[in-house]
Amino acid sequence: SQKIEQNSEALNIQEGKTATLTCNYTNYSPAYLQWYRQDPGRGPVFLLLIRENEKEKRKERLKVTFDTTLKQSLFHITASQPADSATYLCALDAGGYQKVTFGTGTKLQVIP
């Protein structure tokens, strides 16, 4: 069956360092992979989308990589700030009329 795994444990990182979050999947051939941020008591907010034929995507301090051979995406936040503390969700989309499937999320805590 399809499975999406994100770091199950919370990730604590010192302010200014680069945070790296992992999204691994099995039994899936996504056309797109998306990353969202969710703060407590709020809905997820879209951050980045990367297509299966793209290796890397950047947006300001954010960088996403997508390796369809390893079936893995890495999400990096450079120069992390306490305001980056949140839960980050990866989502896989096979395209067409198929559903988007979300991972369980990784809680990131940036320590001042």
Partner 1 sequence: DTAVSQTPKYLVTQMGNDKSIKCEQNLGHDTMYWYKQDSKKFLKIMFSYNNKELIINETVPNRFSPKSPDKAHLNLHINSLELGDSAVYFCASSHDRAGEQYFGPGTRLTVT
Contacting residues toward partner 1, per CB under 8 A: 31-32, 34, 41-46, 49, 87, 89, 93, 95-102, 104-105
Smallest gap, in angstroms, from Cβ of residue 4 to partner 1? 10
User: Residue 6 in contact with residue 101, Cβ under 8 Å?
Assistant: no
Smallest gap, in angstroms, from Cβ of residue 16 to partner 1? 28
Q: Exposure string (b/e) for 61-82, b if CB count within 10 Å is 16 or more?
A: ebbbbbeeeebbbbbbbeebee
Q: Which is nearer to partner 1, 35 or 65 (CB)?
A: 35
Q: Which residues contact 38 (CB under 8 A, 6 or more apart)?
A: 44, 45, 86, 87, 88, 89, 105
Q: Which is nearer to partner 1, 71 or 103 (CB)?
A: 103
Q: Which is nearer to partner 1, 15 or 62 (CB)?
A: 62
Smallest gap, in angstroms, from Cβ of residue 31 to partner 1? 7
